C-alpha cells in the first residue's frame, strides 16, 4: 500500500493552484500533483491512473461541466473529493455534493479545515484498504412488479459465482426476502442501523442471517416499528460502507418510496435495476421514477437498467414503446413463470436450486452477467457531508 497520501489538485487558475499546493504540502508528508486544466478539459480525473487518494478541485467558471463529469463516473471510480469555490452559490454546492464532494471550502481556507480533511482521508485509507463491493439497487416501478424476486435470485446467483454477497432488505415495513430463503425474519437491519457508527466487518456478522449458499441476508422483522424516514442518512451510508468493505457484491431491495435513506442507496449504487411489467400504468410510473432518478438524484442513465418482468412479446406495451418512453436506459426481460416463481417463494428455495434450467432462471443469470463491470472500482466511496436535500415523497 502507498505510504504517502497522494492528492491530485486540479483547477484553471495557476496562482491559486500554487497557493493551495503550498498549503496542502505544509500539512505533512503529502504528495501533491497539480493539474492545470485548459479549455478543452472538463474531467479533472481524465487519465489519472491509478486514482489519487483524493481530488481537490478548485472550481471557477466551468464548475458545472467539471462537476458533471465527476458525477457521471461510477462511485467506485472517483476518489474522495474536496471542492474549493466561491461562497454563496447554492447550485454549485448542490452539484458538488452530488458529484461526491466530502466538503466544500471557500477561500480564504483555514489550515485546520484542510488538516481535518486530510486526517479523515488517512483514517479511511486504513479502514478500507481493499476494494469496495459493487452495489446493485433493485426498485420496482409499481408494487408487485417482481423487484424482490429479482433481488433475491440475483444475489443468490452472485454467491454461486463465488462472489461474497450480502442482500439487504430495505423494505422495513413489508420486506419479504427472508421468505425467499426460508429464514426467520430478525431484527438485523434495524439493530445494524442503530449501531452503524461503531460497526466493523466482524461485528456486522452478528446481524446477518446466513443462507446455506453462503449468502448473507440483512433484513428486519415485522415487529420492527421503524420507518425508513426515521433512519438518518448517515447511518445508511455507514452501513453500506461496512457492507461494501466486507463483500464483493451488495444487492439492496428498496421500497418504492424515496427519502433520504433510499436516495442514499440509489446514489451510491453502481447499478440501479428498475423492475416493471408491461402495462400503461407500469410505464407511467416507470417514467416518473426515471425522471426522479435522473433529474432529481442526478443518477446517470448509464447506471440504470429496466427489467421488464413477466415479459410477453405479444403484449401491446412492447419493448419498442418501453424503450421510447424510457430513453437511455438498458432493457432486460424476464419471462413469466408463475408456477416456479410462487413455488420458489412457498418453499423458500431460490430458483437456481429448484429449477436451474428454467427460462426464468437462465434469464436471471444473463441479468447477473450483464452487471459485470469491466473494472471494479477501487478506493473509498464518497461521503456527503454538507447538504442533504429534501426529496419529494411518493405515497
Ligand X SMILES: Nc1ncnc2c1ncn2[C@@H]1O[C@H](COP(=O)(O)OP(=O)(O)O)[C@@H](O)[C@H]1O
For ligand X, the binding residue among 8, 51, 102, 148 (CB under 6 A) is 148
Residue 348 CB, shortest distance to ligand X, in Å, is 13
Of the candidate spans 96-104, 122-130, 139-147, 322-330, the one that interacts with ligand X by CB under 6 A turns out to be 139-147
By the rule CB under 6 A, 157 interacts with ligand X: no
For ligand X, the binding residue among 30, 266, 334, 358 (CB under 6 A) is 334
For ligand X, the binding residue among 310, 382, 383, 384 (CB under 6 A) is 310
Q: How many CB atoms lie within 10 A of CB 160?
A: 17
For ligand X, the binding residue among 144, 214, 356, 359 (CB under 6 A) is 144
Q: Are 83 and 100 in contact (CB under 8 A)?
A: no
Q: Is 180 helix (H, G, I), strand (E, B) or coil?
A: helix
Residue 286 CB, shortest distance to ligand X, in Å, is 12
Contacts of 51 (CB under 8 A, 6+ apart): 45, 77, 78, 79, 378, 379
Residue 223 CB, shortest distance to ligand X, in Å, is 20
C-alpha cell recorded at residue 362: 437462465
Q: Are 44 and 70 in contact (CB under 8 A)?
A: yes
Give 123 or 339: the residue with its C-beta nearer to ligand X. 339
By the rule CB under 6 A, 250 interacts with ligand X: no
With b for 16 or more beta-carbon neighbours within 10 A and e for fewer, the 169-197 pattern comes to bbbbeebebbbbbebebbebbbbbbeebe
Of the candidate spans 91-99, 187-195, 218-226, 331-339, the one that interacts with ligand X by CB under 6 A turns out to be 331-339
By the rule CB under 6 A, 345 interacts with ligand X: yes
Q: Are 276 and 140 in contact (CB under 8 A)?
A: yes
For ligand X, the binding residue among 342, 373, 386, 387 (CB under 6 A) is 342
Residue 260 CB, shortest distance to Mg ion, in Å, is 20
Beta pairing, strands 216-218 & 209-210? antiparallel
Would you give the binding string for ligand X spanning residues 349-368, x where CB under 6 A is met? -----------x--------
Contacts of 164 (CB under 8 A, 6+ apart): 133, 214, 246, 247, 248, 249
CA 339 to chain centre: 33
Of the candidate spans 78-86, 199-207, 341-349, 377-385, the one that interacts with ligand X by CB under 6 A turns out to be 341-349
Beta pairing, strands 249-253 & 165-169? parallel
Would you give the binding string for ligand X spanning residues 257-296, x where CB under 6 A is met? ------------------x---------------------
Contact residues toward ligand X (CB under 6 A) are: 140, 143-149, 176, 275, 309-310, 334, 336-338, 341-342, 345, 360
Amino acid at each position: 500500500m502507498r505510504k504517502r497520501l497522494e492528492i491530485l489538485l486540479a483547477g484553471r487558475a495557476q496562482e491559486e493552484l500554487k497557493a493551495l499546493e503550498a498549503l496542502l504540502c505544509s500539512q505533512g508528508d503529502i504528495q501533491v500533483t497539480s493539474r492545470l486544466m485548459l479549455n478543452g478539459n472538463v474531467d479533472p480525473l481524465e487519465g489519472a491512473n491509478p486514482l489519487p487518494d483524493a481530488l481537490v478541485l478548485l472550481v471557477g467558471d466551468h464548475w458545472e461541466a467539471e462537476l458533471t463529469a465527476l458525477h457521471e463516473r461510477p462511485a467506485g471510480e472517483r476518489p474522495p473529493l474536496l471542492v474549493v469555490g466561491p461562497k454563496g452559490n447554492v447550485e454549485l454546492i448542490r452539484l458538488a455534493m452530488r458529484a461526491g464532494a466530502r466538503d466544500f471550502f471557500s477561500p480564504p481556507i483555514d489550515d485546520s479545515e484542510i488538516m481535518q480533511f486530510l486526517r479523515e482521508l488517512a483514517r479511511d485509507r486504513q479502514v478500507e484498504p481493499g476494494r469496495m463491493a459493487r452495489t446493485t439497487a433493485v426498485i420496482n416501478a409499481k408494487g408487485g412488479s417482481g423487484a424482490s424476486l429479482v433481488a433475491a435470485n440475483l444475489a443468490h446467483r452472485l454467491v454461486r459465482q463465488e462472489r461474497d454477497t450480502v442482500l439487504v432488505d430495505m423494505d422495513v415495513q413489508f420486506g419479504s426476502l427472508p421468505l425467499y430463503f426460508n429464514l426467520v425474519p430478525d431484527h438485523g437491519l434495524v439493530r445494524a442501523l442503530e449501531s452503524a457508527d461503531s460497526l466493523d466487518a466482524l461485528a456486522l456478522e452478528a446481524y446477518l442471517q446466513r443462507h446455506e449458499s453462503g449468502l448473507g441476508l440483512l433484513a428486519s422483522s415485522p415487529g420492527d416499528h421503524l420507518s425508513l424516514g426515521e433512519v438518518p442518512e448517515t447511518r445508511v451510508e455507514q452501513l453500506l460502507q461496512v457492507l461494501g468493505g466486507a463483500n464483493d457484491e451488495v444487492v439492496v431491495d428498496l421500497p418504492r418510496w424515496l427519502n433520504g435513506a433510499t436516495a442514499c442507496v440509489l446514489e451510491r449504487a453502481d447499478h440501479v435495476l428498475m423492475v416493471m411489467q408491461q402495462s400503461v400504468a407500469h410505464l407511467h410510473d416507470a417514467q416518473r421514477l426515471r425522471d426522479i432518478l435522473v433529474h432529481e438524484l442526478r443518477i446517470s442513465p448509464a447506471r440504470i437498467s429496466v427489467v421488464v418482468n413477466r415479459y410477453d412479446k405479444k403484449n401491446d406495451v412492447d419493448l419498442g414503446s418501453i424503450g421510447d418512453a424510457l430513453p437511455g436506459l438498458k432493457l432486460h426481460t424476464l419471462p413469466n413463470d408463475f408456477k416456479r416463481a410462487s413455488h420458489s417463494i412457498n418453499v423458500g428455495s431460490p430458483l437456481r436450486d429448484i429449477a436451474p434450467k428454467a427460462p426464468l432462471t437462465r434469464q436471471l443469470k444473463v441479468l447477473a452477467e450483464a452487471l459485470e463491470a469491466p473494472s471494479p472500482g477501487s478506493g473509498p466511496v464518497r461521503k456527503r457531508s454538507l447538504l442533504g436535500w429534501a426529496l419529494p415523497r411518493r405515497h
